[in-house]
């Protein structure tokens, strides 16, 4: 039936080039690249969108600003290390993201709702699902896009540190190992934060609520856990002997969770009060909880979008 | 294009579709039904997004239960509700949607420019959608459904919220989708008069059941009503009555079209059997030496099929009211 094209007329190249020719409707006989291509397109569009690319100037400001804020301290540290001919960088690769957790949380809070709440609020989701992709493709593309955006945000300053460290002629093997451990740690952090952020954003179609909710979960939980840990630490100094409590409380906020995982397995020094992170046994629990949370986020997103449909 | 066979969809408390068997061929097909008649449920099943409780359905010869992805690649869908993000331009949005349908980047851009032009969006396509009028938004929604050159499009209430002029333009565009673009159309509406003008074929469902499926010409053949108004002359001080009597004499039943409305007493209604009825009226009026003030087709008569159903009177009243609004502007 696509064969009837009564108004197909060739474009005439002769004469005045500026004239607009009514060339009628042209059918499309080219390739249709299908589901996996569509998923990749959604991924790249979402990833670009997470830095405001392809969107209005206004929406570029915050993500770009946060990206710069993430990188500037690293650049300063490198400058100091090079200038003072220090033997080591002032901050561990693994510690950097923990120090900058507020910036990362802010980024997730601003971009997770941008990524999914808009589609829900403006009901664009049905348009996606009326195309070849399936629910799982949509969720995977969005999840991967935000996790990649976060990885860029957290890995870029580490790269600055690493390059700076090599310029300062610090020990190559040492630095490379630290850098690699840092990358693994921020990769895990990106997945965890992206998952939590998207789940929260996907149930709050209003962007404002989404932002507030993500900040609440990421930052307030960190504040609460840190406070509780400090109290537990103070008590253990008084002789209460509750160093264990510090460890277990740490499971209840995403930032301390990552901190626990990396101090147990990635050679990081813990940011917990007292500087003692979980032991290897406890670290396994941390890893399991982290992976469990990532998987649960994915599962919840799938459930959420199965309901949205058309 | 579309074939369903005792297709049923039951939810815990409602039966949305009840053993619906219908065949839809190429061309423009209207799907008519009141809100909740099962139109959207049917579209969802046809897109392969919602499994049928029983029965089967095919779109473009592909089974909806197993070939949903392949169907969605070849079919376009324009939802009833708003679905456009306000902060991107029409071009960007439609390009993205083209890529989501599997078009390579270069083809997506080219097709977007073409399609937006065909639906009548020009310079404004570079501005954010948030600033568009309802009519322009409807055009963008239509463009995203057509951008991948589907073989069939589902248009869900495309004239919703448009003013009479916008409505006519949209209906013209829908007609062109088939005649110029060669794409078949399934368009839903609860305004029957609209579909009479636009569609080749009309399917009416009510309460999830098929009420009627036939070509628009069938409807008009059996139901076209002519309204006639004539002048009075010295020979025939009551021209209306003279025409009525003359037509009666030739065996044509004529109704008084006043319907109790003031000033409408001069209008006669009769059922047109075909071309010859028009000729007969012309000849009768000419023989009597009267002036023919008006001879027009009364629309919204597809709605009469609803009078057979339970919700009939309500629905046809609603349709007539909307029709009146549509013509009032």
Condensed to tens digits (0 to 9), the pLDDT of residues A75-105 reads: 999 998 888 888 888 888 999 999 999 999 9
Instruction: Report how far residue A306's alpha carbon sits from residue B51's, in angstroms, rounded to the nearest whole number.
Output: 13
Does residue A298 fall inside a structural domain? yes
Q: Could you say which of A30, A59, A122 has the minimum Cβ distance to residue B83?
A: A122
How confident is the model at residue A127, as a pLDDT? 93
Closest Cα partner for A107 from A140, A73, A152? Answer: A152
> CB distance B88–A54 less than 8 Å?
yes
pLDDT at A62: 94
Judged against a pLDDT cut of 90, whether residue A161 lies above it is answered with yes
Q: Is residue A17 part of a domain?
A: no
Residue A181 has pLDDT above 90, yes or no: yes
Q: What's the CA gap between B122 and B139, in Å, rounded?
A: 11
- Is the pLDDT score of B328 beyond 60? no
Let me know if residue A15 belongs to a domain.
no
The answer to the question of residue A199 being in a domain is yes
**Is the model's pLDDT at A134 over the cut of 70?**
yes
Number of domains in chain A: 1
Q: Which domain holds residue A224?
A: 35-304
Q: What is the mean pLDDT of residues A107-128?
A: 91
Picking from B75, B86, B107, the nearest residue to A28 by CB comes out as B107
At B268-302, the pLDDT tens digits run 887 777 777 888 888 888 888 888 888 877 654 44
Beta strands at B152-156 and B75-78: parallel, antiparallel or unpaired: parallel
pLDDT digits (tens, 9 = 90+) for A193-217: 999 999 999 988 787 888 999 998 8
Q: Above 0.85 for ipTM, yes or no? A: no
**Per-residue confidence (pLDDT) for residue B277, from 0 to 100:** 81
* Residue A72: partners with Cβ closer than 8 Å, 6 or more residues away: none
pLDDT in the model for residue A232 = 85
Residue B191 or A260, more confident: A260
| Nearest CA-CA partner of A49 in A60, A41, A40, A58 | A60
C-alpha distance from A269 to closest chain B C-alpha (Å): 45
Note whether residue A241 is domain-resident.
yes
In this prediction, residue A55 carries a pLDDT of 79
B114 in contact with A at a CB cutoff of 8 Å? yes
Question: Nearest by CB to B100, which of A26, A41, A118?
Answer: A41
If DSSP codes are grouped into helix, strand and coil, which group holds residue A8?
coil
Confidence grade of residue A13 (pLDDT, cut at 50, 70, 90): very low
Distance separating alpha carbons of residues B58 and B48, to the nearest angstrom: 10
- In chain A, which residue's Cα lies nearest the Cα of B46? A130
What residue of B is the nearest CA neighbor of A134?
Answer: B69
pLDDT greater than 50 at residue A52? yes
pLDDT at residue B33 is higher than 70: yes
Residues from chain A that touch B104, judged by Cβ atoms under 8 A, are 30-31, 33
Whether A25 and B179 lie within 8 Å, measured CB to CB = no
pTM, two decimal places: 0.80
Does A30 contact B at CB distance below 8 Å? yes
Residues of B in contact with A2 (CB under 8 A): 149, 151, 182-183
Could you tell me how far CA B190 lies from the centroid of its own chain?
8
> What residues of A are in contact with residue B70 (Cβ under 8 Å)?
132
As a whole number, the mean pLDDT across chain B is: 83
- Band (A240; pLDDT cuts 50, 70, 90): low
* Nearest-by-CA chain A residue for B144: A127
Q: Residue A309 domain-assigned?
A: no
pLDDT tens for residues B71-119? 999 999 999 999 999 988 999 999 999 999 999 999 999 999 999 999 9
How distant, in Å, are the alpha carbons of A59, A65, A72, A152, A202 from that of A51? 8, 10, 18, 10, 19
Asked whether residue A265 is domain-assigned, the answer is: yes
Q: Is A1 within a domain?
A: no
Q: Determine how many CB atoms are found less than 10 A away from the CB of residue B307.
A: 10
* pLDDT per position as a tens digit, B225-261: 777 888 888 888 888 888 888 888 887 777 765 555 5
């Amino acid at each position: 039936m696509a064969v009837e094209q009564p108004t197909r007329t060739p474009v005439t190249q002769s004469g005045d080039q500026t004239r607009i020719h009514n060339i009628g409707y042209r059918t499309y006989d080219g390739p249709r690249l299908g589901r996996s291509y569509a998923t990749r397109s959604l991924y790249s569009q979402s990833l670009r969108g997470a830095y405001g690319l392809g969107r209005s100037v206004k929406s570029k400001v915050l993500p770009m600003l946060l990206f710069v804020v993430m990188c500037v301290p690293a650049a300063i540290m490198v400058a100091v290390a090079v200038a003072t001919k220090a033997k080591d960088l002032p901050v561990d690769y693994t510690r950097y993201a923990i120090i900058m957790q507020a910036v990362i949380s802010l980024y997730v809070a601003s971009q997770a709702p941008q990524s999914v709440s808009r589609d829900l609020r403006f009901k664009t989701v049905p348009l996606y699902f009326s195309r070849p992709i399936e629910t799982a493709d949509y969720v995977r593309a969005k999840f991967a896009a935000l996790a990649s955006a976060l990885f860029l945000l957290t890995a870029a300053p580490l790269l600055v540190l690493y390059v700076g460290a090599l310029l300062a002629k610090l020990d190559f093997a040492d630095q490379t190992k630290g850098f690699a451990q840092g990358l693994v740690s921020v990769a895990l952090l990106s997945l965890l934060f992206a998952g939590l952020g998207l789940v929260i954003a996907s149930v709050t179609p209003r962007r404002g609520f989404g932002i507030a909710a993500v900040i609440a979960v990421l930052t307030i939980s960190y504040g609460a856990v840190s406070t509780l840990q400090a109290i537990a630490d103070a008590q253990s100094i008084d002789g209460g002997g509750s160093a264990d409590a510090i460890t277990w409380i740490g499971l209840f906020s995403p930032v301390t969770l990552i901190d626990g995982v990396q101090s147990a397995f990635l050679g990081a020094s813990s940011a917990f009060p007292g500087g003692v992170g979980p032991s290897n046994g406890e670290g396994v629990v941390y890893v399991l909880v982290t992976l469990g949370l990532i998987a649960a986020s994915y599962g919840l997103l799938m459930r959420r979008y199965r309901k949205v449909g058309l | 294009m579309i074939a369903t066979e005792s297709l049923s969809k039951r939810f815990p408390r409602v039966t949305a579709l009840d053993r619906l068997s219908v065949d839809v061929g190429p061309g423009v097909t209207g799907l008519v039904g009141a809100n909740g008649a099962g139109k959207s449920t049917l579209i969802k099943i046809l897109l392969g997004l919602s499994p049928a409780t029983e029965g089967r359905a095919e779109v473009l010869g592909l089974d909806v239960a197993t070939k949903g992805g392949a169907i969605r690649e070849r079919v376009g869908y324009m939802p009833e509700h708003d679905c456009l993000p306000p902060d991107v331009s029409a071009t960007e949005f439609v390009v993205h949607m083209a890529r989501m349908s599997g078009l390579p980047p270069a083809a997506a851009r080219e097709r977007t420019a073409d399609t937006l032009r065909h639906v009548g969006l020009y310079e404004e396509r570079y501005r954010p959608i948030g600033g568009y009028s309802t009519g322009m938004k409807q055009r963008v929604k239509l463009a995203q459904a057509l951008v991948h050159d589907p073989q069939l499009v589902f248009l869900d209430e495309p004239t919703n919220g448009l003013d009479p002029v916008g409505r006519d333009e949209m209906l013209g565009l829908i007609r062109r989708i088939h005649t110029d673009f060669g794409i078949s159309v399934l368009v839903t509406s609860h305004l029957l008069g609209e579909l009479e003008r636009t569609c080749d074929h009309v399917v009416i469902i009510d309460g999830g059941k098929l009420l009627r499926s036939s070509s628009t010409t069938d409807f008009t053949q059996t139901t076209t009503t002519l309204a006639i108004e004539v002048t009075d002359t010295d020979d025939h001080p009551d021209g209306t009555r003279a025409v009525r009597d003359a037509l009666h004499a030739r065996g044509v039943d004529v109704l008084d079209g006043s319907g109790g409305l003031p000033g409408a007493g001069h209008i006669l209604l009769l059922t047109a059997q075909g071309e010859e009825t028009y000729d007969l009226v012309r000849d009768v009026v000419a023989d009597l030496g009267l002036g023919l003030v008006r001879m027009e087709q009364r629309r919204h008569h597809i709605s009469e099929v609803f009078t057979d159903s339970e919700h009939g009177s309500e629905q046809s009243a609603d349709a007539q009211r909307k029709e009146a609004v549509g013509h009032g502007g």
